[in-house]
Amino acid sequence: MSFLPICFSMLASIAIAQDNPSPYRVHDIDRPKPPIVTPNRISAPVLAPSDAIVLFEGDDLSQWKSGNKPAKWIVKNGYMESVPGAGYLRTAESFGDVQLHVEWAAPVPVKGKSQGRGNSGIFLMGKYEVQVLDSYKNDTYADGQAASIYGQAPPLVNASLPPGEWQTYDIVFRRPRFDGDQLVSPAELTVFHNGVLAQEHKKLWGPTAWLKHDPYEPHAAEKPITIQDHGNPVRYRNIWVRKLADKVDHTRAKRITSDVKWTEEQVNAVTGKYGKYKIRSDEGSLKLDWENRSFDLIPVSDSRLEFATTSAHIDVECKEGEPCKITVDLMGSRSSATRDK
C-alpha cells in the first residue's frame, strides 16, 4: 500500500544536473568553520524604506499566522518571541523575490549547545532557510551556524553578536524559476549578518533540509515567509520586506542600429578635427575621438550621427564652400564646434 505514494513522490521531484557538487556532505563536521568577524552593534532598529511592507513593528502579529490560525508567539516590549511548541510563524501575505530585513536576538540566559542553542530560522517561501542560531562562542557544524543556508552553505564569516543583543539579517532572495516541471534557475541568496557579507549570490541546490539533500519541486511564484519555532525563545523585532522586480541581466549597453548609409562624399566632408573633437573614418565606419575615448558613430539621417552605445548624438551642418559645423549633444548638454582649417 505504501509503494504507490513513494513512487509518486519520486516522480514529483526534479533531478537537477549537479555539475558542480559541493565537496562536502550535508552537515560535514570536517567542513572548515568561517572566520570570526566582530561586527559593529546596531544602535537602533533599521527602519523600513517607503516601499517596504512592514511585517512586524513591535506591537502585533496581524501580518502573521500559525498555519491557518492566529499566531501564538509572545509580543511584548516591542519584540515577538518564539514560544516552544507554538509552531512556525508564516506571513499572511505571500512573497517571491524579496529584500528582507530581520532583527533577532538569541535567548539569555544561555541554554543548550550546538543546534540546541538559540535555534530558529528564516524560511524564504517557507522552503529555503537562512539559519538563525546563537553562534557566539557556540560550536556547531559549519552549514548549520548563524547565516548559513541550512545544510548547504556555511556563511562566509561568523559575524555573531553575543546572545541577548539585537542582530540584523539583510537578505536578498531570488526564487527558483520553473518551466513546467523543469528547473530554469535555482534559488539564490545574498545575506548580510550585522552588516557583514555572509552569503553572496549563493545558488541553492534545492529546499533546505535536516540531514538530507532534497531536490527542487515546482512551486508557486509567491509563498509565505516562515520563521522557525525550534523550541528556543528567540526574539524578533522590526521585520520588513520589499518585493523585488524580476532581475534583468544586461551585460552591455544597447547599440543603435540604422539603415542609413552615408556616401563617401558625406564621410569625407565630416571627418576632421573640431577643436577638442575629432571625427575619423575607420574602415568605413565613423568614430569620434574625444577625452582619450573613441566612440562608434551611426548615421541615422543625412545630418545626424548617433553614438552607438551612449545617449548622445552629433548634428552635422555642412554648407557648400564652408567647413562643416558639429553640435555634440551629450545627454541634453550641447556644445558646437567648427571644423579646423
Give the Cα separation of 228 and 151 in Å (integer): 15
Give the Cα separation of 47 and 266 in Å (integer): 60
Min CB(17)–Mg ion separation in Å: 29
Nearer to Mg ion, 129 or 306 (CB): 129
Nearer to Mg ion, 115 or 168 (CB): 115
Min CB(115)–Mg ion separation in Å: 8
Nearer to Mg ion, 147 or 279 (CB): 147
Nearer to Mg ion, 131 or 168 (CB): 131
Nearer to Mg ion, 160 or 279 (CB): 160
Of residues 298-327, those binding Mg ion (CB under 5 A): none
**CA Rg, the chain, in Å?**
29
Nearer to Mg ion, 235 or 287 (CB): 235
Nearer to Mg ion, 97 or 143 (CB): 143
Tell me, residue by residue from 123 to 142, as one string, x for binding to Mg ion by CB under 5 A and - for no binding.
--------x-----------
Q: How far is CA 311 from CA 91, 271, 305, 318, 331, in A?
A: 44, 21, 12, 23, 6
Q: Of the listed pieces 112-120, 183-191, 284-292, 311-319, which binds Mg ion according to CB under 5 A?
A: 112-120
| Cell, residue 92 | 499572511
Min CB(125)–Mg ion separation in Å: 16
Min CB(121)–Mg ion separation in Å: 3
| Residue 121 near Mg ion by CB under 5 A | yes
List of residues 6+ apart from 199 with CB closer than 8 A? 130, 147, 149, 153, 155, 156, 189, 190, 191
Give the Cα separation of 225 and 234 in Å (integer): 17
Nearer to Mg ion, 227 or 241 (CB): 227
| Residue 155 near Mg ion by CB under 5 A | no
Min CB(150)–Mg ion separation in Å: 6
Vertex 183: Cα angle to 177 and 187 (nearest 5)? 50
Give the Cα separation of 139 and 145 in Å (integer): 8
Tell me, residue by residue from 216 to 255, as one string, x for binding to Mg ion by CB under 5 A and - for no binding.
------------x---------------------------
| Closest among 339, 292, 283, 340 to 314, alpha carbons compared | 339
Min CB(131)–Mg ion separation in Å: 5
Give the Cα separation of 292 and 49 in Å (integer): 41
List of residues 6+ apart from 131 with CB closer than 8 A? 119, 121, 144, 145, 146, 147, 148, 149, 150
Residue 62 Ramachandran class (φ > 0 left, ψ -120 to 50 alpha, else beta): alpha
Min CB(28)–Mg ion separation in Å: 18
Q: Of the listed pieces 1-9, 70-78, 119-127, 264-272, which binds Mg ion according to CB under 5 A?
A: 119-127
Residue 60 Ramachandran class (φ > 0 left, ψ -120 to 50 alpha, else beta): beta
Min CB(122)–Mg ion separation in Å: 9
Residues forming the site for Mg ion (CB under 5 A): 119, 121, 131, 228
